[in-house]
Structure 1
Amino acid sequence: MVERISHDNSSVTTLRARVERAGRTERPKLVLPEGVATPDDPVRLVLGGRTYHALIEPDFDGVPEIRGAYDNARLARERDGENHLVEWYERGSLDFGRSVHLDVVDPGSLYGVRAPGERATYPSLDGPSDSLADIARDVEDGE
């Protein structure tokens, strides 16, 4: 069983995304390339080696974007708690308008974001079965 997958693994697709200003605020958002799916449920998002949860949603023009990274899926859905995307942006040396790499590890489920030139590894694709994932979602949602 493979425990970690490198960003340059043949199973990982790397796309170009941008860090932009969220409206007129100083908060960052990730503008993803058109064609990236916008699943109904939060996805896992790896930033700086840590895994968070995020929603991929279309903006007013239908372009997919991520406006936050949270500790769990419930917090991502509610946009509650600490937004680790802000922390990641502030720690890095990125400016608004800068390109970043979006690593698609498992479409609709697991993504990673890294600055150009950075290396990254991601959790293995070997995850729980769909039925176990459904149970976990139900528990997380308080059902």
Structure 2
Amino acid sequence: MPVDPRVDPAVSVVFACHDGQGRVLLARRGRGARDERGTWDTGAGALEHGESFADAVRREVREEYTADALDVETIGVRNLLRGGSHWVAVVNAVRVDPAAVAIGEPHKFDELGWFSLDALPAPLHSQLPATLDLFREWASGTWGLAGPAQQP
């Protein structure tokens, strides 16, 4: 299935879910995914009319991963022009409880996994490196350059 051929820009929320301990949640795109099937990616979804960015993130995290977003922080904005589409992606860091996470949209994703930033799976979605660059920058300021603070 080709990439959505949008003419006018659309807004999406991208969310890098994390456990607060240095691991990120990635989903492998399944047969029903819009593009790049078999690649690992963070979650994302379109902003609905009248919805705040944080509310869109909370809704999409529940839909895709069945978990509640415990903390939502906007960490950047990306302008994506690809395949005839134009998306403005508002990128967020979202803490979730790993025990609450499950595949909520099995038609789109066939596997979930928790990964450290230095041990990512392959292949990665083409847009994931830029999202993870924003997440790494945010994490270095939040957790320090050496990674997340250790719990006592």
Q: Using structure 2 for the length normalisation, give the TM-score.
A: 0.24
TM score, norm. by length of structure 1 = 0.25
